Amino acid sequence: MIQPTQSTARRVVVTGMGVISPLGNTLESLWDHLCCGRSGVGPLTAVPLGTLPLSCAGEARQFQADIDDFGPLEKEQKKAIRKGLKVMCRECQMGVAAAQLALSDAAFAPGCYDPARVGVAYGSDFMITVPDDFGEAIRECLDDSGQFQFSRWAARGLPKMSPLWLLKYLPNMPASHIAIYNDLQGPSNSLTLREASGGLAVAQALQSIRQGRAEMMVVGATGTRLNPMKLVHALQQEEVATGNGDPTQASRPFDLNRRGMVLGEGAGAMVLEDWRSAQARGARIYCEIVGAASSSSAARNRVARREQALANAMTAVLRQTGFAPDRVESIHAHGLSTRTSDAEEARAIGQVFGDHVGSLPVTAAKSYFGNLGAGGGVVELVAGVLALNHRVLFPVLNYQTPDPDCPLRVVQDSSQPSGRCFVQLNVTPQGQATAVLIQDCES
């Protein structure tokens, strides 16, 4: 039986999970790849090969936005989602699919709950249109020499745009679609804080349930770094693994020879539920969300201080839950695979856990699929919960040469026990960090 935590007597548990990821779209496929050490990074197909100095990516190749990708659905739900697909960009589609899979996994059916007591907290990246959306409209505005004439836009270009175009790219749409398709009338919010979005959504949902504003929350995040415009943005401003070579070896968190992050796409979702509600309906319980905290830190010149933000978030979640550092049994790191971020994260972990860091195993799911944008945090959290349930940590792929700047106990094989509680970390390039503390159902 789950024991009360020190932070509150109102416990919050996970009763459903769903993913759309480069490692597949089922929990079984995700875990099979992780425990067998199989990467989901492959050749880049999101843009024509050779147009950018990238050769590999973590693409959710099995997700085709077919109605079957959304899991078991009621007849009316299936009809509504199929109709709504045309006003969803790929990120929205992945986010809705992950949420529907999580709801199905939680044995959650419309009509068997009070809709006013169920809400949604969902994260996303900022969403950017693809050039094809403007193609026909722009062609209408070209003169005989092929030059774009803005004076023609209102009369000739704009009418060629879909009247529902904007709905495809609003970052609040995943939460809106999920709430509408499932008649969820409780607290609802959307967060657009890049890689920290998922952890912040978990924190907000946790607070909503603990304060009694909801009995259940659908929490998740969806994202992509593979939109053409986002690819260009990442190449201009971030450390990205470029060039050729074996795609499966490109993402290598904490390794001395890491050369940048791999870009990817995906979505993850969880059903968070008041423990009493879960018990009453006989739900399967994966784990308990013990605490979640966040911090943002930047220098006066607005340069991000990721190390400080991560240390603050970890310290806050330990204080919030009453956990001593040596009670945490593993870390699921952000593990971006860049020179700077990995070193800063390693220092933050050492700062918070002190002497315990030498015996604290650290793993990183990004070694399997890269940076999924906002979607990564919850996919990585699902991976951590699966490791907790299977009692074993998955190894960090491609970790071959320890980096003196990252003095961590990095998991290198599949024999490392998971322990019964872990902290999961995420941080953005702008210095927004989150820490989520999870424990199993027997702690």
Maximal CA-CA distance, the chain: 75
Tell me the β-bridge partners of 13.
273, 288
Cα torsion angle, 189, 192, 193, 196, sign: positive
**pLDDT on residue 269:** 98
Please state the three-class secondary structure of the chain as a single string: CCCCCCCCCCCEEEEEEEEEECCECCHHHHHHHHHHCCCCCEECCCCCCCCCCCCEEECCCCCCCCHHHHCCCCHHHHHHHHHHHHHCCHHHHHHHHHHHHHHHHCCCCCCCCCHHHEEEEEEECCCCCCHHHHHHHHHCCECCCCCECHHHHHHHHHHHCCCCHHHHHCCCHHHHHHHHHHCCCCCEEEECCHHHHHHHHHHHHHHHHHCCCCCEEEEEEEEECCCHHHHHHHHHHCCECCCCCCHHHCCCCCECCCCCECEEEEEEEEEEEEHHHHHHCCCCCCEEEEEEEEEECECCCCCECHHHHHHHHHHHHHHHHCCCHHHCCCEECCCCCCHHHHHHHHHHHHHHHHHHHHHCEEECCHHHHCECHHHHHHHHHHHHHHHHHHCECCCCCCCCCECCCCCCEECCCCCCECCCEEEEEEECCCCEEEEEEEECCCC
Cβ count within 10 A of residue 309: 26
312, 352 Cβ separation under 8 angstroms = no
**pLDDT on residue 398:** 97
Burial class of residue 85 in the structure, from the number of CB atoms within 10 Å of its CB (0-12 exposed, 13-18 middle, 19+ buried): middle
Q: Taking the mean position of all CA atoms in its chain, how far away is CA 255?
A: 23
Tell me the β-bridge partners of 220.
122, 269
For 332, residues 6+ apart whose C-beta sits below 8 A from its C-beta are 363, 364, 365, 380, 381, 383, 384, 387, 422, 423, 424, 425
Question: Whole-angstrom Cα distance, residue 78 to residue 22?
Answer: 24
pTM above the 0.75 mark?
yes
Question: Whole-angstrom Cα distance, residue 378 to residue 196?
Answer: 10
**What does the pLDDT look like over 143-198, one tens digit per residue?**
999 999 999 999 999 999 888 888 899 999 999 999 999 999 999 999 999 999 99
Distances (CA, A) of 411 to 220, 231, 393: 26, 30, 7
For 114, residues 6+ apart whose C-beta sits below 8 A from its C-beta are 215
Query: Cα 313–316–319 angle (5° rounding)?
Result: 150
Mean residue pLDDT across the chain: 94
Question: Whole-angstrom Cα distance, residue 248 to residue 43?
Answer: 9
Distances (CA, A) of 129 to 46, 134, 154, 159, 171: 14, 9, 19, 17, 12
Domains of the chain, first to last: 12-127+170-439 (3.40.47.10), 132-167 (no CATH)
Burial class of residue 68 in the structure, from the number of CB atoms within 10 Å of its CB (0-12 exposed, 13-18 middle, 19+ buried): exposed
Question: Whole-angstrom Cα distance, residue 196 to residue 199?
Answer: 6
The pLDDT profile of the chain, 443 residues, written as one tens digit per residue, is 333 344 446 899 999 999 999 999 999 999 999 999 999 999 999 888 888 889 999 999 999 999 999 999 999 999 999 999 999 999 999 999 999 999 999 998 877 789 999 999 999 998 888 888 888 999 999 999 999 999 999 999 999 988 888 889 999 999 999 999 999 999 999 999 999 999 999 999 999 999 999 999 999 999 999 999 899 989 998 999 988 889 999 999 999 999 999 999 999 999 999 999 999 999 999 999 999 999 999 988 888 999 999 999 999 999 999 999 999 999 999 999 999 999 999 999 999 999 999 999 999 999 999 999 999 999 999 999 999 999 999 999 999 999 999 999 999 999 999 999 999 999 999 999 999 999 998 75
The owner of tokens 């774009």 is: 148
**pLDDT on residue 443:** 59
Distances (CA, A) of 138 to 89, 130, 146, 157, 342: 20, 13, 10, 6, 43
CA proximity to 224, closest of 115, 27, 63, 99 = 63
Distances (CA, A) of 253 to 198, 206, 364, 379, 383: 20, 29, 7, 17, 16
**pLDDT on residue 9:** 60
**pLDDT on residue 279:** 92
